[in-house]
Amino acid sequence: MTNELETRWNTFLGKLEEKANELIEGIRTEGKTLWQDKADIYHQTYYRFRSGMQGQLRSIYSKARDTYEAQIQQQGHHLSSAYHEWEERIRQKEEDAVNDAEAEDLELKYQEILAEHAAIKDKFSCIQCGGKLVLDKIYFITTYIKCDQCQTQNTFEPSTVAKSLEGLSKPLAEQRCKHLYNEYQQHVLHPRHDDPQRRTKKETEVSYYQKYLRGVFDEVNKIVPDLTIQNEKFYERLLEEYRRDNL
């Protein structure tokens, strides 16, 4: 009887999750399009859309909870655990979808920086002799550029857009590595201290975190290669802190 109930319960939760996933994907994709509508500066259409989708999700949560309380709650810990894990998983997906929909388009900002650099890189001349100065890379801080002809040091002051590159680099890298983050999240576990497999499970978690973190900093180094040395030190520190806290 217990096995039959467990099968029916898992099937029921699976069907609800399929419906929830459709709504969540709608928030992520259609919601993002509405959020980026520049004509709707206060995002009113998006908020109405999100409210409707989340209302349907609340109905799914309620249906699962009502069934759990009426038929499952007294049947055993493992059946209760399945429900709580299900709800936590769906709510996390919902939160992630909302965050994705409302996220600033950092890739677009980066492309604006690249376009600005392409437009100005050949338009500078030495203040002393008029010799041509070429900006061979994106400068995001005030920089002295020496003239090859007269050796004069010319001050280059980057635009506000270019100055944002350093601060943009890590959030943009994290967006690019979202697939690695999601993979890591699937391996975040909270085993009991008396679990004989605790060490193995946490080592697996750390390895996936390292894979994600390495991916992020590889992207950061592509965006701001001049900061590679200090970024690598930051990477080592974050990884060491995570190891210390989890192993």
Q: What is the pLDDT of residues 190-233, one digit of tens each?
A: 666 667 777 788 899 999 999 999 999 999 999 999 999 999 99
DSSP string for the chain: -HHHHHHHHHHHHHHHHHHHHHHHHHHHHHHHHHHT-TT-TT-HHHHHHHHHHHHHHHHHHHHHHHHIIIIITTS-HHHHHHHHHHHHHHHHHHHHHHHHHH---HHHHHHHHHHHHHHHTT-EE-TTT--EE---S---S-EEEE-TTT-PEEEE---HHHHTHHHHHHHHHHHHTHHHHHHHHTT-----TT-TTHHHHHHHHHHHHHHHHHHHHHHHHHH-GGGHHHHHHHHHHHHHHHHHHH-
Q: What is the pLDDT of residues 32-49, one digit of tens each?
A: 999 988 899 889 999 999
Q: Quick one: pLDDT band at residue 1, thresholds 50, 70, 90?
A: very low
pLDDT at 215: 98
Average pLDDT estimate for 14-18: 96
pTM for this model (two decimals): 0.66
Answer with the residue of higher pLDDT: 73 or 8: 8
pLDDT at 193: 64
